Amino acid sequence: ETGVTQSPTHLIKTRGQQVTLRCSSQSGHNTVSWYQQALGQGPQFIFQYYREEENGRGNFPPRFSGLQFPNYSSELNVNALELDDSALYLCASSSGTSGRAGDTQYFGPGTRLTVL
């Protein structure tokens, strides 16, 4: 069974640029959540996708957007990058009905984004 994978591992961008991060969910999982983890802090929820539709969103501006594909893989897009967007971006997948409280989320290794 393949776990959650993310690409790229590291990325360096300059302020104002756009970035796309990719995530492949664990086999059999239909729900993908994205989190931003600043250095030394806990993750912050960005949004969740269930069966190709956005299922919920955290307190992030519209320049953070996403997609989920029919194979349940997902993309996170960030436009007009700001210095504060520098962080570890984590993707997590889970199975079953979207957003059930007891569902375990399985995390990928993350993409480290640096904005200069």
Partner 1 sequence: GDSVTQMEGPVTLSEEAFLTINCTYTATGYPSLFWYVQYPGEGLQLLLKATKADDKGSNKGFEATYRKETTSFHLEKGSVQVSDSAVYFCALSDHSNYQLIWGAGTKLIIKP
- Site residues, partner 1 (CB under 8 A): 4, 33, 35, 40-45, 48, 55-56, 58, 90, 92, 98-110
Smallest distance, partner 1 to C-beta of residue 60, A = 12
Which of residues 15 and 100 has its CB atom nearest to partner 1 in the complex? 100
Question: What is residue 90's three-state secondary structure?
Answer: strand
**In whole angstroms, how close is the CB of 65 to partner 1 at the nearest point?**
17
**98: its two tokens:** 């979207």
How near is the Cβ of 8 to partner 1 at its closest, in Å? 14
Rounded least distance, CB 55 to partner 1, Å = 6
> How many CB atoms lie under 10 A from the CB of residue 12?
12
Q: Which CB atom, from 4 or from 16, has the smaller least distance to partner 1?
A: 4
**80, 14 contact by CB (below 8 A):** no
Cβ closest to partner 1, residue 86 vs residue 98: 98
**CA-CA-CA-CA torsion for 21, 24, 25, 31, nearest 10 degrees?**
50
In angstroms, rounded to a whole number, what is the distance separating the alpha carbons of residues 71 and 73?
A: 6
